[in-house]
Structure 1
Amino acid sequence: MPIIEHEGEEYHLSHEQSEALDQFQMISSYPENDLPLIIKLLELYGWNIERALAAYYDGDWKNLVTEPAPPIHRETLPQQQQQLFNDSDDTGENLPILMDHTLFVPKLPVSKPLPVDYQTHFKLVGLGLNDNDDSKKNVSFLPSHKLLLFLLLIPQTIGSLSLKLLTLLWKLLSFSFLFNINKDVSNKNKVMKIPIKPRIYRNDSNANSGGLNSLNSIEHPEYTIKDVILKNPSFNLDTVLKNVDNTNKVFNELYSNSENEFKFMLVILLGNLLEHDDALGSQDRKDQTLSSVSSSNNKEEVDVNSVNFVKYVWSDESVQRYIDTLKVSSNNSLNVYLGDVDNQVESWCVAKNYNVGVTPTVLLLGNVLNSNNVGGAGIITRMSLLGNPKVTSSKKFLRSLKFLINRFAPELISSRTEKHDLEMERELRKLQDQAYQESLLLDKKKEEQKMIEEELKKKREIEKLAKEQEAKLNNTLYNLKWLKEAILEYQVKGGNDVALGKDKLCTLQIRTPDGTRFVKKFTGSMSSYDLYKHIGILLYLGISNLDKTEEALVMKVRNLIDNQGENTTCLKGFTKGNEIDEKNVVNVLQDEFKKYDLDNTELKFNFQLVSPFPRYEVPISEDVLISNIPSIWPKGNILVEFEEEEEEEEDYDDDDDESE
C-alpha cells in the first residue's frame, strides 16, 4: 500500500487512490501546501476525479472540505426506469416500458493503442517536462488521521475489533516481508513513480540543469525485456519470460491481436529492475518517488517493489500455472506484455498512455461491450480497461485476476465464437463462389485450352530450369576436375613440365587457335591421354609452363567466385575473389573437392590435337604411347582445335518448338 509523507503526517492510500491523486495533480497542478486539503476533497467525493475537479474549479472548495461534510446525495434512476409500467397512456391502457439496455452494459475506461509516432507524441507529454518545474515536484509524506481511524473502530464489537487489528497487522507484516527483502531501512515502503523520462533520454552529466534532451540524443542504451531479465541474476529467465509475448513483438502488435481475436491482454509495467553505475542526479530522480530519495551512493535506484513482484508474484508457481491454463488450455486467450518503464521507451510510453502513476502496475485489457459512449459511437465492442489486478501478493494477484477473467471471459468467448462462425461462413461462401467460377470455366472450351497451354508452358519452364541447374552442376564438376588435375600435376612434377628420367624425349611445337605457340618436351613413355591432360591443364589455366600454376590457380578461383551463381555452384562460402591468395588457394580447393564426387567424374576434353601434314588426329587413349605415333615422334607440330558447343543447336530447337 503506498505511503505518502507530508510535513510529518502520513497518508495510507491504495494504488487506485494514489493514481487518482496523480491524475488530479497533473490536471490541476495544485500547490504543494494544499495536498492535505486535496486528499480531503477527493475523500469527500469518493475519489471521483471529475466531481472533485468540478468542486476544485468552483473556487470555494477549501470551505467545503473544512466545513462538516454534507449528507451524501445518492442519484436515483429516472422515474420511467423505476417502474415497469406506466400508469396510463394516450389509449388508456397500461403498456410495458422496456428498460434501458445500457444499464446492463458496464461503463469502462476506453483503451487505445500507442500512436504510430508515439515517441514524438509523448515528447510533449512526458519527455518535454522541465525538471525544475516546482509545480511538478513530487512530495513525500506519511499517513496521518490515526485518531480518526481509532474513532471509526470504537463502535465495533471487541471480537470484530480484534479481528481487524490482527488482519491489519498481518497485512503490514506480509507487505513488509514481500516488498522489503534485501533492502535497508531507508528503502522501506518506498513506491516508485513513473520517471519523467526513459533512462536512455536522461543526461546524467547535467542532471541538475533541467530541460529536455533531444530524442536523437541517447545517453544510455535501451534494453529489451529479455536483456533486463538476463542482467538481473535474481530472476529465473525461463520462468519470468515463459508466458511473455513481447520478447519478439511490440505492444501494438499484441494490442491488435487481442482486439481482433478477442483475447485478454495483461499489461505488466515495472519500475527500474537494474542497478546502473551511471546513476541519475538528484534533480532527475526527485520526481520519481513518493518519499525522499538519496542518490549519494551514485547508483541507479532499483524499484524494489517491481523486483519482488517479478520474484514472488509473477514467478509464483500457482500464478504461472493459471497463466499456462489461459494460454494453452483456453486456446491461447491471453497475451502478456511485460515492460520496464525505466529502461524501455515503449513501456514508458505505454505507462503514459494509460496514465499509470506508480510501479508495479498491472492492467487487464479486453475487447468487450462498453457503454462508455466515447465519440458518440454507442454501445459497441471496444478495447477497454477491465481492471487492475492487485500486486501486493501472489494470492491477491491471482484472486483479483481470476475475478476479472471469470467476469469477462464468457463475453470474449462468445465474441470469439461469433467471429469464428462469421469467418467460416465467409470462407464457405468463398468456396461456393470459387466452385461456381470453376464450373463456368469448365463450360468454356477456349478457357480450358488456355489453361492447358499455360500448364505446358510452365512445364517447359520447369524443364528448362532443371536443364540449367544440370548445366551448372556439370560446369562446376568440369572446373573442379581440371583444377584438381592441375594441382596433382603440379605436385607430382614440382613445376617441371617433364618428370626427370632416362627416357627419350619428344619435342612438340603446340599452336592454339588464337595463334599462341609454345614448345614442350615429353617423354616417349607418356600416353596420349596424359599428353591431352597436360596440354588441357595449360590451356585451362592459360599458362605455358607449370611453374606458374599457383598464380594461375588464384586467378581462376577468383574468377569463379566473382561469377558464382551464373554458371557454377561451387565456392559459395566466399563473396569476394580477393579473399583467395597463393597461400590458401590449394587448401580452399581441397575443401571444395570434398563436396563433390570428383573421383567418378570423367575428365572432359573439349579440344582435339591434330598433326597438320599429313593431317592426323591424335587419339585419346591410355594405351597409346607418344613414341608409337610417327607423325609426332620424335619431333612434330600439333594444332589445338576446339570443338563447337551444342548449346546454340539446343536453343534453335527450343525456338522451333515455341513457333510450332
Structure 2
Amino acid sequence: MPVIEHNDQRFELSHAEEQKLNEFQMITSFAADELSNVIKLLRNHSWQLEHALGRYFDGNWKENLDYSAPHSPTAEQVAAGDHQQAQTGSHFTDNQEADLPISSRIPNFLENPLGVVPKLPVVHRLPYNYKEKLKILTSRQNQVTDLYSKNSLLLTVLFLPNLLIKIGAHLFSWLDILISYAFKVNLNKPRTQYNWMIPNRPQEERQPKDTFTDITEVCGDNAKDLLSLCSTESYNQIFDECESKYKFMLLILLGPIAGDEKNVCHSSKTFLTHFLCHPSTIELFKQHGDNLKIYIRTVNDPECWALSKQLKLKYSLECLLVANVHNRVNSNSGSQIMSLLAALKTKSLPRFQDSWKAAVRRYSPELVVSQTELNELEMARKIKELQDEAYQMSLNKDLEKQLEREKQEKELKEMILSKSQKEESLKIKKLCYELTLLLHSLTAENEDENVTKEKKSDILFRTSDGKRVVRKYKGTDTLRDIYIDIAAHLYLTASESSTQPKTLDRIYEKLRNIYENPENSCIAEESDIKGKSLKFFTITQLEAKLRKDLSRVSSKIQLKDVSFDFELISPFPRCSIPNDPSVFLQTRSELWPNGSLLVESLYDDGSSEEEYEGNDQEDQDDNINE
C-alpha cells in the first residue's frame, strides 16, 4: 500500500485512495503544505471527489477537519465487556439504565454511519480490449478442437468425464420421473419456463442493430415505444453517462428471440412481448425517462456475451438495475460506485413492476441528492469560469486602453518632433535663402568693381505693389541668375527709408542681423564671421567665408537649391519665365536685347511660403486633436 509522509505525519492509503488524491490535486492544484489537510478532507467525505471538491471551493474547508465519526465496538470488545460484567456480577436495573447517557443507548447503526450503507455487488466497465480478448479466446478454442480431433485418445479422455456426468444426470432424471408418477405429481416443467443458458461463444458477426431488428420482428408495432426508450450506444458509453450523471442503468440480457423454435429462448421472448412491451411498463419507464438508460441485447452479441461473462451469469434472461450509489465495498470505508441495486423479477408482470418500483423508490432520493450536488458543483464551476472570463476580459480591456494610451502618446511625441523638425527645416531653408541672396549680392558688388564692356540687356521689373526696377544682365546670364538677382534686390530694398544706404552697407547690416540672431545658432557656432567686424574682411574674403557657411548649413537638410516665392511673367506675349539654370538670357527674344517682366507672388495677400506651410501644419494638428 502507498505510504505518504508529510510534516512528521504518516498516511497509509490504498491504491484507489491514492488515485483519488492525485485527481483532487490535478483539479485544485493545492499547495504542498496543505497535503495533510486535503487527506483529512477526503477521509471525512469518504473519498468522494464531488463532495470534497464542493467543500474545498466553499472556502471554509479547513474547519472541523479533525472530526471523525465514532466507531462502534467490535465483537471482541463487546464479548470482553460482557465477560467482565458477568465476572463482576454487575447488572443494571431499568432505573439505572435510564440514568445512563443517551450516547450509550444509541444503536450501533447510528454510532457507525457505515452500518446503514448497503453492501452491494459492484459493476465495472468492459475492458477496452475485450474484442481482442474475445478473438484470442475463439482462436484458442479452435486450436484445442483441432488438437483433439487429430488425436482420438485425447478426445476420449476429454469427453469421458462429460459422458459419465450425462449418464448420471439421465439416471437421476428418470428416477425423478418415477417418483413423480408414484406420488402423482408432475414435477417436470415445460421447456418454455427455463431460461436459456449462455453459450460458450458469441456470434462475432452480430451487431447491436440486429437485436433491435429481432425485437421489431417479434413484437411488431408494440416494439416502437420500447425501442424509443432503449439506447443504441455501447455498454461503456451508457455506463460512463450513468456513472457521471447519476442515472439508473437497466441491463436487459435476453436469449435468442428470433429464428427456429428449438433455438429460441421462450422465457426471453415471453418477457419481451408480455412484460417489457406492456403499456404499463412503458409508462413506468417514461416516468423516469430523463434519469434512465436502457441497455437491451441478446447474449449472442459479442458485447453482451462479454458483459454476461464479466457479471458471471449462467442464464440469459436477466434484468439488472444498476446505479452510482453509496456502497460499503468493504468494512472499513464506503464510497459511491456503480453497484447492482436489484435483480428484477421476471416471472410475472406484477412482480416485475413491483420489483422495479421498490428499487427505484429506494434509491431515487440518493440519486436526486447526488444530481443536485453535481449540478451545484457544475454551477459553481461555471460561475468561476464566468468570473475568470470576466476578469480576463477586464484585463484585456485595460491592456487595450494602455496600448491605446501609449499609441496616442507615441503619436503625439512623433507629431511634436515632426513639427519641431519641420520648423527647424523651414528655419534653415529661410537662412539658406537669405545667405544665397547675400552671397549673390556680394558677388555682384565684386563684379561691379571690375566693370566689363560686355553688352548687357536692360530689363524692367514691375512688382505687385507698383514699384519699378531696372536691372542690367549679360547675355550669358541664365534665367535662374535673373531670379536670384531680382530676389536679392527685393530682399535688400525691402525696408527702404528716406536715406538709402549703399548696397554693401545693406549687406553688412543683413549679415550682422543673421549672425547675431540667437535663433541662427546653427550657423553662428562654427562660423569665422561671428564676433568680428565685417569691414576688416575684403569682399573676396567675406564671400569665401559666407560660401563656406552656406555649404555647411545647406548640408544639414540636404538642400540642393533654394526656391522662390514669386514668378516672373512676360506681359507681351504673356508667358511664364521658367527658373531654369540651363537657359541663357540671349536665347529669349522677349528679354534680349531688352525686355519687361512682371514680378507676381505665388501666394495670396503677400504671405510667404513658410506661413502657408505653417498654416497647413496647424490644420493637421487641429485634425489630430479633434
Q: What's the TM-score bracket when you normalise by the shorter of the two chains?
A: 0.3 to 0.5
TM-score (normalised: structure 2): 0.41
- Structure scoring higher RCO (CA < 8 A, sep ≥ 6) equals 1
Larger Rg: 2
TM-score (normalised: structure 1): 0.39
In terms of fraction of residues, the more helix-rich structure is 2
